[in-house]
Amino acid sequence: MRSDQIRKRAANRAAILTTLHYDGPQQRSSLASACEVRKASVTSIVASLLEEDLVDEVEPGRYRSAVRLRTKSNLALVASISPREIVASCLDLAGETVCIATRPVAADAGPDTILATLAAEFAAMQATVDGAVLGLGVSVPGITDPGTGVGSYAANLPGWRDVPVAAYLSDRFDLPIAVDNDVRCQLRAHIWFASSPQEVDSVLYVLVNDGVACAFAQHGIVSPGAYFAGGEIGHIRAGDRHRPCACGREDCLETYCSVPAILAEVRPLCPAPAPATATDLAAVAAKSPAVGNVLDRAAGYLAHGIAGVIAALDPAVLVIGAADHAFAECLCPLLRTRLDQELMGLAVSGLRLIAAGDAERESRRGIAATVIQNSFNNTAEP
């Protein structure tokens, strides 16, 4: 088969699998129409997918039976890295968690310790799961090159500079490896599992958690930026109060509106036990006007930080991500009001705000989506 035919068949294969992912079981004739692929080609590709056990027939042996993804028997092993812990999990094609393991990370843990823990967790999980493992995926904070799988820099991870995550795992596992920035992963999870490419034309995702960052997708494609630092808004200058940042500088945006920054302002206002998490903040803000005022100020800093991004990109949807859904819901109306002030009401009237939660879980679902898409496209190299 000529190389152009191989590329065309691979593209058709990906289109068929993606259609089954978004639209559910389909007859071969429906797939041919939806994917604009000849019926004979669909029949041939589906036959191969049946042999690969990526799909099965809804009514086996019945003429013109619909086919569907085998979501439960095809798996992605993924992990998210944070300053507090490494969480490894096995996800199926529907993004559902099959099993999960959490390992605490010491505050001074370096890259070698983190990589060794990752490999150990993946090995243990691979030995116990029941199904075909399509690949490994790692969600990493900070500037990350998804092409090489190198973590270039993360302010909140000690010594995290030019860490060859993908190469380290490739030396130990005979599986395709995917590595990407955690915030881009969270956006990809929203696109792949919570919506369809047709639902929105453009999405801006903003995470307010240990730090502050954003990611942007156009037509379902998440852009990492020319130097893989797209969305690192947490380290733009936001004030003049000399607030130290983990990056070594002062007055970065995340020193004013990240969850740790908000908690630091809120604790003196609250009786013991003081709030310690985003979940606590949402609960206390509902009862305390003083805490609500702190959140509103944080929303003001955040709105100022992302107003230019919104004006430049004109997204249809703004997704606010956080560790806790209730906290994101609490922040959304405050942020809309502040954005209206920053943008003079011109660029936010049609903007749809969505509150998201459990950011670390979405990081894992997002990198699992990358593993799945790579397997659909058949482009990842073991």
- Does residue 39 contact residue 30 with C-beta atoms inside 8 Å? no
pLDDT at 273: 85
Quote the CA–CA distance of 97 and 362 in Å, as a whole number.
11
pLDDT at 91: 98
Note if the bond before 224 is cis, omega within 30 degrees: no
Q: 74-188+362-377 belongs to which homologous superfamily?
A: ATPase, nucleotide binding domain (3.30.420.40)
Quote the CA–CA distance of 192 and 171 in Å, as a whole number.
29
pLDDT at 380: 41
pLDDT at 295: 96
Tally Cβ neighbours within 10 Å of residue 38.
11
Write down the CATH number for the domain with range 3-69: 1.10.10.10
Residue intervals of the chain classified under CATH 3.30.420.40 are 74-188+362-377, 195-359
**What averages of pLDDT result for each successive group of 10 residues across the chain (382 residues)?**
82 95 94 94 94 94 91 97 94 96 93 96 96 97 95 93 98 97 96 72 93 93 90 94 92 96 93 89 92 96 95 93 96 95 79 92 97 82 36
Quote the CA–CA distance of 123 and 119 in Å, as a whole number.
6
pLDDT at 200: 67
Residue intervals of the chain classified under CATH 1.10.10.10 are 3-69
- Please give the model's pTM, rounded to 2 decimal places: 0.92
pLDDT at 199: 60
Range 195-359 has CATH code 3.30.420.40 = yes
Quote the radius of gyration of the chain (alpha carbons, Å): 22
- Does residue 14 contact residue 380 with C-beta atoms inside 8 Å? no
pLDDT at 382: 35
pLDDT at 196: 60
Quote the CA–CA distance of 209 and 211 in Å, as a whole number.
5
pLDDT at 72: 95
pLDDT at 272: 79
Quote the CA–CA distance of 238 and 161 in Å, as a whole number.
25
pLDDT at 271: 83
pLDDT at 266: 94
